[in-house]
Amino acid sequence: MSPRGLALVVAGGDAPGPGELAGEGPWDWVVVADSGLDHALALGLEVDRVVGDLDSVSPAALARAREAGVVVETHPRDKDATDLALALDAAVDLGAASLLVVGVGGGRADHLLANLLLLASPGYAALDVDARTADARYVVVRDRARPLRGRPGDVVTLVPVHGPAGRVRTQGLRWALADEDLPGGTTRGVSNELTGTDAHVVVGDGVVLAIQPR
């Protein structure tokens, strides 16, 4: 097991391409939400748990998982949480302290927005949470420094979510923040840039979503 207990969570949105996982892993667990199972199997991943109401996963993929002895956690379709939320909770129950989430897109703005706000929600404050889509990388930043990697000149946008973010500090960005506050709704953190290949962001109070468009 990795020091941070790393779990890959595959949601049922847009199928992730191999490039979204390049340089990542190995995983201590792979947890999939519903039709995320189809995505995971297409990538050749060994799945540890399937979670959801199973209304969109293909019968062939589900049968294959059951034959392989994968734990299938079935929930009713009428429920108060999305399949992704249930999958995240399952990964935490397994012992994960770091999450990489893929498949959170899917062409619906409401799904993407809800999923990103979910990843930055207080229930996962103790975890290191990242997400990847075909269009961007997302890093949830709280009171411990999180790394951002890329090429000099790559765009980085810092968005406070779930309220204001206080005492935000950056290192390795063109326009540095030094213990500065970002109120909710501000555009101040939009379109910053990496000055090198590595940067770090930390937040004293609140939570920031760091977005790196591809």
DSSP state of 17: P
pLDDT value of position 6: 95
Q: How does pLDDT run across 123-146, given as a tens digit for each residue? A: 999 999 999 988 899 999 999 999
CB-count exposure of residue 74 (10 Å: 0-12, 13-18, 19+): exposed
Give the other-Cβ count within 10 Å of 174's Cβ: 14
Domain final residue, candidates 134, 161, 184? 134
Unique residue bearing structure tokens 């990496």:
194
**Same domain assignment for residues 25 and 62:** yes
- Percent over 90 (pLDDT), the chain: 80
Q: Is the pLDDT of residue 15 over 90?
A: no
DSSP state of 77: S
Q: What is the mean pLDDT of residues 19-47?
A: 91
**Same domain assignment for residues 198 and 127:** no
The CATH number linked to 165 is 2.60.120.320
**Same domain assignment for residues 75 and 117:** yes
**Same domain assignment for residues 130 and 142:** no
Instruction: Give SS3 for 123.
Output: helix
Domain span at residue 29 reads: 1-134
Strands 6-10 and 71-74, how do they pair? unpaired
Domain final residue, candidates 77, 105, 134? 134
Q: What are 109's two structure tokens?
A: 């703005």
C-alpha dihedral over 144, 164, 89, 50, to 10 degrees? -100
Inter-residue contact 103 to 16 (CB < 8 Å) = yes
**Same domain assignment for residues 188 and 84:** no
Q: Is the pLDDT of residue 34 over 60?
A: yes
**Same domain assignment for residues 70 and 21:** yes
Inter-residue contact 104 to 11 (CB < 8 Å) = yes
**Same domain assignment for residues 14 and 102:** yes
Domain final residue, candidates 72, 104, 134? 134
pLDDT value of position 1: 45
The CATH number linked to 14 is 3.40.50.10240
C-alpha dihedral over 150, 153, 155, 159, to 10 degrees? 90
The count of domains in the chain is 2
Q: Which residues fall within 8 angstroms of residue 13, CB to CB, at 6 or more apart? A: 103, 104, 105, 106, 107, 111, 112, 115
**Same domain assignment for residues 122 and 171:** no
pLDDT confidence band for 4 (50 / 70 / 90): low
